[in-house]
Amino acid sequence: MRHYEDEGLIVPGRFSNGFRDYCQSTIDRVLVIRSLLESGLPVRLIRDVLPSLTDGSRAAADAVGAEFLNEVQSHRDRLAARIAVLSDQQAALDAYLREARRTDL
């Protein structure tokens, strides 16, 4: 939770003794943040769109719109390209190991 606070994703309230007060709306916001992070979205993008996703109004959700979806698509495309490179590298290593084992026999 402190990490999310440090990143500017949440702003918890404070008790008189200085302890953080995580109200239900902050907890709900953290659940949205975790879901987006687990999807692989960068904190930068989450920080930009989070206010529109968590204020509860339909108008705010609509404001997320095409720009956010384009960013998500772009992030997804970069991820797919990295997966393709890693798959190629894995296939090359598999071929190397097969060949190395064949020459050991």
Classify residue 10 by burial, with Cβ atoms within 10 Å: 0-12, 13-18, 19+: buried
Instruction: Give tens-digit pLDDT for 16-44.
Output: 998 998 989 889 989 989 998 998 888 98
Specify which residues 100 forms β-bridges with: none
The predicted structure's pLDDT at residue 49: 83
Centroid of chain to Cα 101: 40
How would residue 2 be classed by pLDDT, with cut points 50, 70 and 90?
Answer: confident
Q: What is the DSSP string of the chain?
A: -HHHHHTTS---EE-TTS-EE--HHHHHHHHHHHHHHHTT--HHHHHHHHHHHHS--HHHHHHHHHHHHHHHHHHHHHHHHHHHHHHHHHHHHHHHHHHHHHHH-
Q: Over 90: is that where the pLDDT of 8 sits?
A: no
Q: What is the pTM of this model?
A: 0.62
Residue with tokens 């071929």: 95
| Domains, the chain, ordered by start | 2-104 (1.10.1660.10)
Residue 90 tokens read as 């894995």
Percent of the chain with pLDDT over 70: 88
